[in-house]
Amino acid sequence: MSDSSIITLTNGAFDADLSPLDRGLAFGDGLFETCRVRAGQVPLWLLHARRLRSGAERLGIPLDEERLERERDQLLEAASGQSGVLKLILTRGQGGRAYQPPAHPAPSLCWQFRPGEPPSWEAGQTGVTLYQCRHRLGDNPALAGMKHLNRLEYVLARSEWGNDYPEGLLLDGEGRVVEGTLSNVFVRLEEGWRTPRLERNGVAGVMRQLLLDSLAPAQEIAVTEAAISVEELMTAREWFVCNSVFGLWPVVGLAPEGAHWPVGEQTRQLQRAFDSWLEGRSTTKSMIMTTTGE
């Protein structure tokens, strides 16, 4: 049974279905973005669009940016200024012989809008306990950083726990911290803040990018992209996970190890900076445009 409150737009038509011949269904041949919508606006849209464009270039999927903006506005107009979560799926479309892509792709754009404030926003105030997943992420530099449609590793990891934890922690084959199942990780060690490098696996989140490019520097908080072992994580002074929908979640525990951390002062500082950014997004939008060269 479908949720009647969800608005869908497929290739410019409301409530339309995607063809079963689409390569996104057959091969996961595409990308997606999940965006927070706040009062009819998508505050991080420029960073979402930049990541989508970069991924499309790497996969060789042509992206009509005028169409992208037009269909986004079409969906947001139908949402009538509501807050919620927008999901965009870009596929290569139909065609090609087996794995061979078509010579002249006709990409599909599929949009979803789910109204309502994210139910997990409260966790940002109290902190969260994560579950350390047994499943390890494999190395795949060709796809690292992209938010591509091949998410079975994350499905397997998420199946390890029920509803006791809001998020899981993912490691690579050598036991290094990579990310959460739907978030990125920032850790404050004795020598300063680190976030894992994402050259071999993982997703380069847009909230992660906002923190690296704008929010952390504005707060005079230096962050290094570098490896983080589990042993180092256990010595952290504070740490958090982040994504574009829920913002920043301070991490206060890790199961099943039973480790605990306080909600850190600099995590709160960055949360306040993000809240201020949301309130004055038009000013920061200009800063992002300068940072990204748009």
* Domain chopping of the chain, boundaries: 7-115, 123-292
* Catalytic-labelled residue, pool 8, 10, 34, 291: 34
**Domain 123-292: CATH class, spelled out:** alpha beta
Identify the CATH number of the domain defined by range 7-115. 3.30.470.10
238 annotated active-site: no
Question: Helix (H, G, I), strand (E, B), or coil: what is residue 11?
Answer: coil
* Residue range 256-271, pLDDT digits in tens: 988 999 999 999 999 9
Question: Helix (H, G, I), strand (E, B), or coil: what is residue 77?
Answer: helix
Phi, psi of 198 (to 5 degrees): -125, 50
* Catalytic-labelled residue, pool 33, 71, 147, 195: 147
179 annotated active-site: yes
pLDDT in tens, the chain (294 residues): 357 799 999 999 999 999 999 999 999 999 999 999 999 999 999 999 999 999 999 999 999 999 999 999 999 999 999 999 999 999 999 999 999 999 999 999 999 999 998 766 667 888 999 999 999 999 999 999 999 999 999 999 999 999 999 999 999 999 999 999 999 999 999 999 999 999 999 999 999 999 999 999 999 999 999 999 999 999 999 999 999 999 999 999 999 988 999 999 999 999 999 999 998 874 444 444 334 443
34 annotated active-site: yes
C-alpha distances in Å from residue 138, one per residue of 59, 64, 242: 19, 32, 22
Cis peptide before 256 (omega within 30 of 0): yes
For residue 216, what are its two tokens?
């952390």
The Cα–Cα gap between 294 and 291 comes to 8
* Catalytic-labelled residue, pool 33, 71, 167, 179: 179
pTM of the shown model: 0.92
